[in-house]
Chain A
Amino acid sequence: MSFLKKYNIVEKFKIIKQFFDDHVLIKSSLHSVGISLIASLIVIQFSIPQFYVSATLREAQTAGDQGEIGGERLAGIFTGGGNMSNIYDQFRSNMHSYVLAQRMWDQGWGSKIFGDGTMDEEYFNTIPKNHTIGQKAGAFLLGYDLFEYYSAHDLQGFIMAKARPTKEVKATNITVYVMDQDKNFAIDFLNAVILETDRYAKEHLIVKSKEIIAETYKQLATSRNSSITSALANTINSEFYKIASLENDLPYHIYFIDPPHSSEYPVTPKVSSIIFSNLIIFLFLSIAYSFIQKNKEDLW
């Protein structure tokens, strides 16, 4: 019992009890609980439930097998992930590019996002766009015209804001996620963005391979050295092989470990956390007010 005496536990317990009697177990605390519930209900009422839709991707092995530049391979060897990092950077850049937004726009995604979903080209190119007063004032003062209709620019902004690719340092998986209130739309949208990004990369590589083949043929026609001729022929073969592997519907740079799928329930807002947090905040405000009132002299 000397421990209790040394630290004066009983006395301290009495002080805490007195504190609770004076500042916590009082009428204003009850009021603050009521106010916190009202505040929580207001926050929850204005919240939009968001589903978490994500896809897990990994670099397709074929990309590394077909003519990556030496440096990238070297980086991969030394860092254990340099090549993967380049694929990720390329994937992210393509995903957020204007070209991709333009391609998605041509497929009618502008209509699904900004309009009523009608796939008529005439309709989705003429969806009227509202502007803020600030934008209107800026345009008036600087003398330029605002876009009357939604365009691929808006879709690019939407993709950049919504579809977020992430890859941890040294990790091998790429996760792309979207948070939206309509999970079916989000799944379709994410799927389309990923596949179109990959398709765009594939088309770029096909064009590149065709150019290499055309130029290599020219070199081949003038080459007199047998070893150079053989090397050029090998290049043409590998580029034809690359085109063959690119001209199919399968993803090229990446493949799906987990295709886009939604969380079962909305991940945000967390109703219980909002109520609990508001309760703590308002209860503390009540306690702090009561405490400051009674200890003004000591504190200042």
Chain B
Amino acid sequence: MVNEYFQLIDYGGSVYYYIFELANFCFLAFFVIIFYKLNYINSNSLVVWVGLFFTPLLINYFLIIPEMYGDQFEYAREIMSLKSTGESISTVGNTTGIASSASSYVPHPITFTSWVLGTVPLPNYMTVTSLAFANKLFIFGTFLWFKNFFQDENKVLLCFLIPSLILYSSLSLRDTLIIILSSFFLLNLLRGKYVFAGLLLYPIFIVKIQMFAIFSLYFIGRLLFRAHRSYLMIGIFAATMLVVSLVIEEDVLMVMNTYILAFSAEDFDMGGGMFSYAGWAIYADGEDLKVHSIPEAIYVAVLRLPEFLLMPMPWNWSNFFYPIQALESYLLIYLYYKLATRRQLYKNREFALLTLMLFIGLLMYSLIMANEGTFVRYRFTLFYPFLLALFYLAYSKLEIKQS
């Protein structure tokens, strides 16, 4: 069912907006105080998380206009339409994502995200920022779960103070959900909990099909090839992936080229009002962007990888988030390196397989990358769960005990 007539009442940055959202903040802050009293978190975590719960109030309308991340309105409209009428808004109901076209049992990613985030019993779902508070509670839940594996809570807390994580979890977008699901998947897989990890592939398929592709490979590599046990098996697994991709080269290239063209078309701007898909349909064919063989795809991806890892480049900095995100990207790469060298983790086979999968994911994204803002976001949602997984390998109680 589709609700064609649903309209979001836009409170803008009015006094009502701040009243409704302050109430949401107070609810979450109260929740954290209870957790502190129950000794689930220490006093540092209490102070930091109260601060983190306040950040949604500082982003939309205060630091940026919410239209800068315009998708937020889609999620806000969807959750309010679902809660008030039980029906999706027309944009979502009339269109299907790639995942949705696979099966009628797969909901639209916006509907699914709104449904999941909407389970948080916030006092108000009134504005474009409300879902950001639900995101915050989910990320807090992840922190509570994740810190169980470590002795030092403060170190874990630092992992949740990455600027991009604070930014994306302060917006009404699905990136936080992707990060959480991906982190749960990776950690469960590292702990050998295959059933739970396998079940998590379904929601990952709904919210981000690209992540599903990478994680499916990882799942197969670990479960069937046991590639985390020996370098030989990692080699066999990598060779098998290459051979299979060459056998079904036509299909792989078709999917890759579809994504390359779609992202390029979305980013297309000829000026004079000719932009996005409409402009692309008239003025571009994209033939020169397509890749025609698997070796060519790998070659192009490897060439573009450094740019993908280091963007946004200084000459493309167009808003104040860009320099922060650029510095953060260097920091995250450095952190990965530092964690890899801890206790000579780079000699660990588990680390080798994990890094191989991250490398494949990064290559895939660097091949299809177009719009800088979008792909900075995509890179973070891919990189951060792997970083958490590596942090787990380097610092968790169990891993230290085993080593």
Using a CB–CB cutoff of 8 Å, the interface residues on chain A facing chain B are: 12, 15-16, 19, 43, 52, 54, 56, 71, 74-75, 77-79, 82, 85-86, 89, 166, 168-171, 173, 175, 177, 179, 258, 267-270, 273-274, 276-278, 280-281, 283-285, 287-288, 291, 298-299
Which residue of B46, B90, B124 is within 8 Å of A277 (Cβ)? B124
Q: Please report the C-alpha to C-alpha distance between residue A75 and residue B38 in the assembled complex, in whole angstroms.
A: 60
| A273 neighbours in B (Cβ, 8 Å) | 20, 124, 126
A168-B89, A281-B26 in contact; A82/B281 too (CB < 8 A)? yes
User: Is A280 within 8 A of B7, CB to CB?
Assistant: no
Which residue of A15, A16, A56, A287 is within 8 Å of B5 (Cβ)? A56
Q: Please report the C-alpha to C-alpha distance between residue A85 and residue B282 in the assembled complex, in whole angstroms.
A: 14
Inter-chain CB contacts under 8 Å: number: 102
Q: Is B346 an interface residue (CB 8 A)?
A: no
List the B residue with the shortest CB-CB distance to A168: B91
List the A residue with the shortest CB-CB distance to B42: A298
Q: Is B233 an interface residue (CB 8 A)?
A: no
A52-B7, A281-B26, A299-B43 in contact; A82/B20 too (CB < 8 A)? no
How close is B199's CB to chain A, nearest CB, in angstroms? Answer: 23
Which residue of B16, B26, B43, B74 is within 8 Å of A284 (Cβ)? B26
User: Is A299 within 8 A of B22, CB to CB?
Assistant: no
User: Is A16 within 8 A of B16, CB to CB?
Assistant: no
| B30 neighbours in A (Cβ, 8 Å) | 284, 287
Q: Please report the C-alpha to C-alpha distance between residue A35 and residue B47 in the assembled complex, in whole angstroms.
A: 26
User: Is A274 within 8 A of B19, CB to CB?
Assistant: yes
Q: Please report the C-alpha to C-alpha distance between residue A191 and residue B278 in the assembled complex, in whole angstroms.
A: 30
How close is A70's CB to chain B, nearest CB, in angstroms? Answer: 9
User: Is B281 within 8 A of A280, CB to CB?
Assistant: no
A-B contacts besides A52-B7, A268-B16, 6 pairs, CB < 8 Å: A19-B34, A19-B37, A56-B4, A78-B282, A169-B91, A170-B94
A78-B277, A79-B277, A273-B124 in contact; A171/B90 too (CB < 8 A)? yes
| A298 neighbours in B (Cβ, 8 Å) | 43
Which residue of B95, B126, B277 is within 8 Å of A82 (Cβ)? B277
List the B residue with the shortest CB-CB distance to A56: B5
| B124 neighbours in A (Cβ, 8 Å) | 273, 276-277
Q: Please report the C-alpha to C-alpha distance between residue A223 and residue B90 in the assembled complex, in whole angstroms.
A: 52
List the A residue with the shortest CB-CB distance to B70: A169
User: Is A170 within 8 A of B91, CB to CB?
Assistant: yes
A281-B22, A284-B30, A291-B33 in contact; A82/B38 too (CB < 8 A)? no
Q: Please report the C-alpha to C-alpha distance between residue A87 and residue B246 in the assembled complex, in whole angstroms.
A: 46
User: Is A277 within 8 A of B9, CB to CB?
Assistant: no
| B47 neighbours in A (Cβ, 8 Å) | 299
Q: Is B15 an interface residue (CB 8 A)?
A: yes
A280-B26, A281-B23 in contact; A268/B11 too (CB < 8 A)? yes
Which residue of A16, A19, A74, A166 is within 8 Å of B281 (Cβ)? A74
Closest 4 CB pairs of A and B: A78-B281, A284-B26, A277-B23, A168-B91
Q: Is B86 an interface residue (CB 8 A)?
A: no
Q: Please report the C-alpha to C-alpha distance between residue A223 and residue B9 in the assembled complex, in whole angstroms.
A: 60
24 A-B pairs whose Cβ atoms sit less than 8 Å apart in the complex: A12-B38, A19-B33, A19-B34, A43-B19, A52-B7, A56-B4, A75-B282, A78-B282, A166-B7, A170-B95, A171-B91, A171-B94, A258-B5, A268-B16, A276-B123, A277-B19, A277-B23, A277-B124, A278-B23, A280-B26, A283-B26, A284-B30, A299-B43, A299-B46
